[in-house]
Structure 1
């Protein structure tokens, strides 16, 4: 967010995917008050700007199993009704889950084990540092009236790949 020192991390996912638990766990791992972590409820529109997006979902086979087990027995007996229910479930999953996954910076499918959470926390910290550096460059350039002749010492030129 330009001019702000906050780094917004949003956690998205399906119903019962564990968004709240992941949000609480990451907050304990990342004790940086500048990093704001929140989770959304199903169909809640995300804020206009996010610095990092996480998507969490249960494995599709587990979702399908739960869905089928929760169907009325009558639906399970009639093959045609079952096929229609499964077709509707797949359509819903494709429209609401798969599209969100590809927009995420990081996603979990399955359980959020400690090593995955640690990896995610380190990634967020790295992105936060990059965010701070980009903000410093922006402030420096604004202070110099956007003069292209001056370069901020931390800013790499496009053709450079290594800093000596």
Structure 2
């Protein structure tokens, strides 16, 4: 059974990524102009590459964050990063978590769920259809305990 779940995306989180991208662009191109520094071709190329890479990474995160339940493995993709969690090692799922602070948060939403696995490890994710996602995990591992915040 192979199921793909899209990531819940908060508009304010997207706004945050856009704001950071615009700030980086402003700093990369505007600062030399403000400081009346000579802005030669090499500086322009380096600034352009930095802006393109950063914006590309943010776009990759926005469009490339999803979760796959592949047989007995949960695969969490967060842009270029991938986590593989054996579903039989998930001990509990904590609902209604906030994304600020803590450990790895492979989410684009401020609200998420925490999956605790391998005794002391955890990741935070935000599948779009949370109830179906959790049902599929529990179907594979009925030992998973569901906890509220």
Superposed pair shares fold, TM > 0.5: no
Give TM-score, length-normalised by structure 2.
Answer: 0.30
Which structure is higher in helix share?
A: 1
Give TM-score, length-normalised by structure 1.
Answer: 0.28
Rg comparison, structure with higher value: 1
